[in-house]
Amino acid sequence: MTSRSVPFSVLDLSPIPTGATARDAFHRSLSLAQHAENWGFHRYWLAEHHNMTGIASAATSVLIGYIAGGTKTIRVGSGGVMLPNHAPLVIAEQFGTLESLYPGRIDLGLGRAPGSDQRTMMALRRSLHGEIDDFPQDVLELQRYFDEVTEGQHVQAVPGQGLHIPIWLLGSSLYSAQLAAKLGLPFAFASHFAPDMLHQALALYRSQFQPSAALAKPYAIVCINVIAADSERDARFLFTSMQQQFINLRRGKPGPLPAPVQDISGYWSGGEQYGVEQALRMSVVGDPTQVKSGLEALLRETQADEIMVNGQIFDHQARLRSFEIVADIKPRLSIPELIG
Protein backbone atom coordinates (compact mmCIF):
# COMPACT_ATOMS: atom_id res chain seq x y z
CA MET A 1 0.00 0.00 0.00
CA THR A 2 1.35 3.43 -0.93
CA SER A 3 1.22 6.13 1.70
CA ARG A 4 0.70 9.86 1.60
CA SER A 5 1.95 12.63 3.85
CA VAL A 6 -0.62 14.28 6.09
CA PRO A 7 0.20 17.45 8.04
CA PHE A 8 -0.51 17.49 11.76
CA SER A 9 -1.49 20.70 13.53
CA VAL A 10 -2.48 21.95 16.99
CA LEU A 11 -5.71 23.43 18.32
CA ASP A 12 -5.25 25.33 21.58
CA LEU A 13 -7.99 26.77 23.78
CA SER A 14 -5.29 28.15 26.11
CA PRO A 15 -6.77 26.27 29.10
CA ILE A 16 -6.59 27.77 32.57
CA PRO A 17 -6.02 24.90 35.04
CA THR A 18 -7.34 25.12 38.59
CA GLY A 19 -4.97 27.30 40.61
CA ALA A 20 -3.49 29.01 37.54
CA THR A 21 -4.14 32.36 35.88
CA ALA A 22 -4.72 33.54 32.31
CA ARG A 23 -1.12 34.78 32.31
CA ASP A 24 0.04 31.26 33.15
CA ALA A 25 -2.12 29.89 30.33
CA PHE A 26 -0.63 32.28 27.79
CA HIS A 27 2.93 31.37 28.76
CA ARG A 28 2.09 27.66 28.50
CA SER A 29 0.47 28.21 25.08
CA LEU A 30 3.62 29.89 23.81
CA SER A 31 5.73 27.07 25.24
CA LEU A 32 3.56 24.47 23.49
CA ALA A 33 3.67 26.43 20.22
CA GLN A 34 7.45 26.64 20.32
CA HIS A 35 7.72 22.93 20.97
CA ALA A 36 5.14 22.16 18.29
CA GLU A 37 7.17 24.18 15.78
CA ASN A 38 10.32 22.22 16.66
CA TRP A 39 8.43 18.92 16.44
CA GLY A 40 7.20 19.68 12.92
CA PHE A 41 3.54 20.57 13.46
CA HIS A 42 2.17 22.54 10.52
CA ARG A 43 -0.08 25.16 12.12
CA TYR A 44 -1.20 26.36 15.55
CA TRP A 45 -4.77 27.57 15.94
CA LEU A 46 -6.45 29.32 18.87
CA ALA A 47 -10.20 29.37 19.52
CA GLU A 48 -12.48 32.24 20.52
CA HIS A 49 -14.61 31.64 23.61
CA HIS A 50 -16.22 34.13 25.98
CA ASN A 51 -17.31 34.03 29.62
CA MET A 52 -15.45 30.73 30.12
CA THR A 53 -13.29 30.88 33.24
CA GLY A 54 -11.26 27.88 32.10
CA ILE A 55 -10.38 29.24 28.62
CA ALA A 56 -8.06 32.22 28.12
CA SER A 57 -8.28 32.72 24.33
CA ALA A 58 -11.17 35.23 24.20
CA ALA A 59 -9.08 37.99 22.54
CA THR A 60 -8.04 35.58 19.82
CA SER A 61 -6.26 37.94 17.43
CA VAL A 62 -4.20 39.42 20.28
CA LEU A 63 -3.12 35.96 21.40
CA ILE A 64 -2.29 34.96 17.81
CA GLY A 65 0.10 37.91 17.69
CA TYR A 66 1.77 36.77 20.90
CA ILE A 67 2.21 33.22 19.61
CA ALA A 68 3.37 34.29 16.15
CA GLY A 69 5.84 36.72 17.72
CA GLY A 70 7.36 33.95 19.81
CA THR A 71 7.72 31.46 16.95
CA LYS A 72 9.43 31.57 13.58
CA THR A 73 7.94 29.27 10.96
CA ILE A 74 4.74 27.57 12.16
CA ARG A 75 1.49 28.97 10.75
CA VAL A 76 -0.66 30.62 13.41
CA GLY A 77 -4.35 31.36 13.18
CA SER A 78 -7.86 31.16 14.54
CA GLY A 79 -9.77 27.96 15.06
CA GLY A 80 -11.77 30.03 14.98
CA VAL A 81 -12.96 33.59 15.16
CA MET A 82 -16.72 33.55 15.78
CA LEU A 83 -17.76 35.91 13.01
CA PRO A 84 -21.27 36.69 14.35
CA ASN A 85 -19.53 38.52 17.22
CA HIS A 86 -17.64 40.93 14.97
CA ALA A 87 -17.94 43.36 12.09
CA PRO A 88 -16.10 41.84 9.10
CA LEU A 89 -14.10 45.06 8.61
CA VAL A 90 -12.69 44.83 12.15
CA ILE A 91 -11.61 41.21 11.63
CA ALA A 92 -10.08 42.13 8.26
CA GLU A 93 -8.06 44.89 9.90
CA GLN A 94 -6.94 42.69 12.79
CA PHE A 95 -5.80 39.85 10.56
CA GLY A 96 -4.39 42.27 8.01
CA THR A 97 -2.25 43.63 10.84
CA LEU A 98 -1.16 40.11 11.83
CA GLU A 99 -0.33 39.16 8.23
CA SER A 100 1.65 42.39 7.81
CA LEU A 101 3.68 41.60 10.93
CA TYR A 102 4.11 37.87 10.22
CA PRO A 103 3.80 37.52 6.42
CA GLY A 104 2.87 34.13 5.04
CA ARG A 105 2.08 32.62 8.45
CA ILE A 106 -1.47 33.72 9.33
CA ASP A 107 -4.71 31.72 8.90
CA LEU A 108 -8.23 33.02 9.48
CA GLY A 109 -10.61 30.26 10.52
CA LEU A 110 -14.23 31.38 10.86
CA GLY A 111 -16.99 29.90 12.98
CA ARG A 112 -20.71 30.53 12.71
CA ALA A 113 -21.59 29.96 16.37
CA PRO A 114 -21.31 32.83 18.89
CA GLY A 115 -18.94 30.90 21.19
CA SER A 116 -20.92 32.01 24.20
CA ASP A 117 -24.32 31.99 25.89
CA GLN A 118 -27.16 34.43 25.19
CA ARG A 119 -26.30 36.80 28.03
CA THR A 120 -22.71 36.97 26.85
CA MET A 121 -23.92 37.61 23.30
CA MET A 122 -25.81 40.62 24.62
CA ALA A 123 -22.68 41.80 26.44
CA LEU A 124 -20.86 41.52 23.11
CA ARG A 125 -23.53 43.88 21.74
CA ARG A 126 -24.76 41.28 19.28
CA SER A 127 -28.41 40.79 18.42
CA LEU A 128 -29.93 37.42 19.31
CA HIS A 129 -31.75 37.31 15.97
CA GLY A 130 -30.63 37.49 12.39
CA GLU A 131 -26.86 37.47 12.82
CA ILE A 132 -26.30 33.81 11.98
CA ASP A 133 -28.27 34.24 8.76
CA ASP A 134 -25.76 36.95 7.78
CA PHE A 135 -22.82 34.56 7.99
CA PRO A 136 -22.45 33.83 4.23
CA GLN A 137 -22.61 37.55 3.40
CA ASP A 138 -20.10 38.35 6.14
CA VAL A 139 -17.68 35.75 4.76
CA LEU A 140 -17.98 37.26 1.27
CA GLU A 141 -17.42 40.73 2.71
CA LEU A 142 -14.25 39.53 4.43
CA GLN A 143 -13.02 38.03 1.17
CA ARG A 144 -13.50 41.37 -0.55
CA TYR A 145 -11.42 43.12 2.11
CA PHE A 146 -8.51 40.73 1.43
CA ASP A 147 -8.79 40.98 -2.38
CA GLU A 148 -7.33 43.70 -4.56
CA VAL A 149 -9.11 47.04 -4.38
CA THR A 150 -11.90 47.36 -6.94
CA GLU A 151 -13.04 50.51 -8.70
CA GLY A 152 -15.61 52.35 -6.62
CA GLN A 153 -14.72 50.52 -3.39
CA HIS A 154 -15.31 53.15 -0.72
CA VAL A 155 -14.28 51.13 2.35
CA GLN A 156 -10.92 49.37 2.52
CA ALA A 157 -9.29 47.23 5.18
CA VAL A 158 -6.02 48.96 6.04
CA PRO A 159 -4.02 46.84 6.54
CA GLY A 160 -5.63 43.82 4.93
CA GLN A 161 -6.59 44.88 1.42
CA GLY A 162 -4.80 42.78 -1.19
CA LEU A 163 -3.13 40.45 1.33
CA HIS A 164 -5.17 37.37 0.33
CA ILE A 165 -5.14 35.89 3.82
CA PRO A 166 -6.35 32.25 3.74
CA ILE A 167 -9.92 31.91 5.01
CA TRP A 168 -11.16 28.61 6.46
CA LEU A 169 -14.69 27.67 7.40
CA LEU A 170 -15.12 25.71 10.62
CA GLY A 171 -18.14 23.76 11.72
CA SER A 172 -19.74 20.79 13.41
CA SER A 173 -22.76 20.48 11.11
CA LEU A 174 -23.64 20.31 7.42
CA TYR A 175 -24.18 24.07 7.12
CA SER A 176 -20.54 25.15 7.09
CA ALA A 177 -19.54 22.12 5.00
CA GLN A 178 -22.02 23.11 2.32
CA LEU A 179 -21.00 26.78 2.41
CA ALA A 180 -17.29 25.92 2.25
CA ALA A 181 -18.00 23.72 -0.79
CA LYS A 182 -20.02 26.45 -2.49
CA LEU A 183 -17.37 29.13 -1.91
CA GLY A 184 -14.44 26.85 -2.70
CA LEU A 185 -12.82 27.26 0.72
CA PRO A 186 -10.94 24.81 2.95
CA PHE A 187 -13.03 23.24 5.72
CA ALA A 188 -12.29 22.10 9.26
CA PHE A 189 -14.68 19.88 11.21
CA ALA A 190 -14.89 20.16 15.01
CA SER A 191 -15.21 16.47 15.77
CA HIS A 192 -13.23 16.92 19.00
CA PHE A 193 -16.47 17.94 20.74
CA ALA A 194 -19.31 17.37 18.21
CA PRO A 195 -18.54 14.29 16.11
CA ASP A 196 -22.07 13.23 15.09
CA MET A 197 -22.07 14.63 11.54
CA LEU A 198 -18.38 14.20 10.73
CA HIS A 199 -18.63 11.66 7.92
CA GLN A 200 -21.77 13.18 6.42
CA ALA A 201 -20.22 16.67 6.43
CA LEU A 202 -17.01 15.46 4.79
CA ALA A 203 -18.95 13.63 2.07
CA LEU A 204 -21.13 16.67 1.40
CA TYR A 205 -18.15 19.02 1.29
CA ARG A 206 -16.20 16.84 -1.12
CA SER A 207 -19.10 16.03 -3.43
CA GLN A 208 -20.35 19.61 -3.74
CA PHE A 209 -16.98 21.41 -3.81
CA GLN A 210 -16.65 24.12 -6.45
CA PRO A 211 -13.09 25.18 -7.32
CA SER A 212 -12.27 28.81 -6.62
CA ALA A 213 -9.40 31.26 -6.85
CA ALA A 214 -8.59 30.28 -3.25
CA LEU A 215 -8.61 26.49 -3.68
CA ALA A 216 -8.57 24.12 -6.66
CA LYS A 217 -9.80 21.01 -4.85
CA PRO A 218 -11.38 20.23 -1.47
CA TYR A 219 -9.16 20.29 1.59
CA ALA A 220 -10.52 19.05 4.90
CA ILE A 221 -9.07 19.17 8.40
CA VAL A 222 -10.44 16.78 11.03
CA CYS A 223 -9.93 17.95 14.61
CA ILE A 224 -9.74 15.32 17.36
CA ASN A 225 -8.59 14.99 20.95
CA VAL A 226 -5.38 13.12 21.59
CA ILE A 227 -4.28 12.33 25.14
CA ALA A 228 -1.04 10.37 24.91
CA ALA A 229 1.27 9.17 27.67
CA ASP A 230 3.93 6.53 28.11
CA SER A 231 1.33 4.16 29.57
CA GLU A 232 -2.38 3.70 28.95
CA ARG A 233 -3.04 4.10 32.66
CA ASP A 234 -1.37 7.51 32.72
CA ALA A 235 -3.22 8.63 29.57
CA ARG A 236 -6.60 7.59 31.01
CA PHE A 237 -5.75 9.47 34.20
CA LEU A 238 -4.89 12.65 32.27
CA PHE A 239 -8.08 12.35 30.20
CA THR A 240 -10.24 12.72 33.31
CA SER A 241 -9.52 16.47 33.36
CA MET A 242 -11.28 16.93 30.02
CA GLN A 243 -14.09 14.58 31.05
CA GLN A 244 -14.71 16.58 34.22
CA GLN A 245 -14.63 19.83 32.25
CA PHE A 246 -17.34 18.57 29.90
CA ILE A 247 -19.50 17.38 32.81
CA ASN A 248 -19.17 20.76 34.52
CA LEU A 249 -20.11 22.54 31.30
CA ARG A 250 -23.21 20.35 30.90
CA ARG A 251 -24.16 21.09 34.49
CA GLY A 252 -24.00 24.81 33.71
CA LYS A 253 -20.95 25.27 35.94
CA PRO A 254 -17.98 25.88 33.64
CA GLY A 255 -14.75 26.60 35.41
CA PRO A 256 -10.99 26.10 35.34
CA LEU A 257 -9.61 22.85 33.92
CA PRO A 258 -9.86 20.38 36.83
CA ALA A 259 -6.97 18.30 38.10
CA PRO A 260 -7.18 14.65 36.97
CA VAL A 261 -8.68 12.03 39.26
CA GLN A 262 -7.91 8.35 39.70
CA ASP A 263 -11.56 7.27 39.48
CA ILE A 264 -13.97 9.27 37.31
CA SER A 265 -16.90 6.91 37.96
CA GLY A 266 -17.97 8.69 41.13
CA TYR A 267 -18.02 12.08 39.44
CA TRP A 268 -20.80 11.53 36.91
CA SER A 269 -24.21 9.93 36.65
CA GLY A 270 -24.97 7.27 34.06
CA GLY A 271 -26.67 9.82 31.81
CA GLU A 272 -23.80 12.26 32.14
CA GLN A 273 -21.30 9.52 31.35
CA TYR A 274 -23.18 8.58 28.19
CA GLY A 275 -23.41 12.21 27.02
CA VAL A 276 -19.75 12.98 27.65
CA GLU A 277 -18.53 9.77 26.06
CA GLN A 278 -20.61 10.50 22.96
CA ALA A 279 -19.29 14.07 22.71
CA LEU A 280 -15.68 12.95 23.23
CA ARG A 281 -15.75 9.73 21.23
CA MET A 282 -13.39 11.20 18.63
CA SER A 283 -10.60 11.02 21.20
CA VAL A 284 -7.49 8.90 20.94
CA VAL A 285 -6.31 8.07 24.46
CA GLY A 286 -3.49 5.71 25.32
CA ASP A 287 0.17 4.78 25.05
CA PRO A 288 2.20 5.36 21.84
CA THR A 289 1.15 2.05 20.27
CA GLN A 290 -2.54 2.71 20.94
CA VAL A 291 -2.31 6.29 19.70
CA LYS A 292 -0.62 5.15 16.48
CA SER A 293 -3.37 2.61 15.87
CA GLY A 294 -6.08 5.16 16.63
CA LEU A 295 -4.65 7.80 14.31
CA GLU A 296 -4.26 5.30 11.47
CA ALA A 297 -7.88 4.20 11.87
CA LEU A 298 -9.05 7.81 11.85
CA LEU A 299 -7.13 8.56 8.65
CA ARG A 300 -8.50 5.47 6.93
CA GLU A 301 -12.08 6.33 7.89
CA THR A 302 -12.01 10.06 7.10
CA GLN A 303 -9.35 10.39 4.37
CA ALA A 304 -8.53 13.69 6.07
CA ASP A 305 -6.11 16.04 4.32
CA GLU A 306 -4.85 17.21 7.70
CA ILE A 307 -5.28 16.25 11.36
CA MET A 308 -5.63 18.91 14.04
CA VAL A 309 -4.91 17.75 17.59
CA ASN A 310 -6.55 19.17 20.69
CA GLY A 311 -5.40 18.11 24.15
CA GLN A 312 -6.73 19.66 27.36
CA ILE A 313 -4.25 18.35 29.93
CA PHE A 314 -3.87 19.76 33.44
CA ASP A 315 -0.10 19.40 33.88
CA HIS A 316 1.94 21.37 31.35
CA GLN A 317 4.81 18.88 31.14
CA ALA A 318 2.35 16.04 30.58
CA ARG A 319 0.69 18.11 27.85
CA LEU A 320 4.01 18.68 26.13
CA ARG A 321 4.77 14.98 26.35
CA SER A 322 1.41 14.11 24.77
CA PHE A 323 2.10 16.27 21.72
CA GLU A 324 5.68 15.00 21.56
CA ILE A 325 4.39 11.42 21.35
CA VAL A 326 2.10 12.42 18.45
CA ALA A 327 5.05 14.05 16.67
CA ASP A 328 7.20 10.94 17.21
CA ILE A 329 4.46 8.69 15.85
CA LYS A 330 3.63 10.72 12.75
CA PRO A 331 6.55 9.56 10.54
CA ARG A 332 5.66 5.92 11.27
CA LEU A 333 1.98 6.15 10.41
CA SER A 334 0.67 4.01 7.58
CA ILE A 335 -1.61 6.43 5.73
CA PRO A 336 -3.49 5.14 2.65
CA GLU A 337 -3.61 7.18 -0.52
CA LEU A 338 -6.71 9.30 -1.04
CA ILE A 339 -9.54 7.53 -2.86
CA GLY A 340 -10.82 9.13 -6.04
Boundaries of every domain in the chain? 3-235+283-336
pLDDT digits (tens, 9 = 90+) for 76-87: 999 999 998 899
Bridge partners of 309, per DSSP, are 10, 224
pTM listed for this prediction? 0.94
pLDDT digits (tens, 9 = 90+) for 229-255: 999 999 999 999 999 999 999 998 989
Rounded distance, CA 221 to CA 179, Å?
Answer: 15
CB 278 within 8 A of CB 249: no
Rounded distance, CA 159 to CA 98, Å?
Answer: 9
**31-69: string of b/e by CB count within 10 Å (b at 16+)?**
ebbbbbbebebbbbbbbbbbebebbbbbebbebbbbbbe
pLDDT digits (tens, 9 = 90+) for 169-211: 999 999 999 999 999 999 999 999 999 999 999 999 999 999 9
pLDDT digits (tens, 9 = 90+) for 320-338: 999 999 999 999 998 877 6
* Average of per-residue pLDDT values in the chain: 93
pLDDT at site 119: 72
The CATH number assigned to the domain with range 3-235+283-336 reads 3.20.20.30
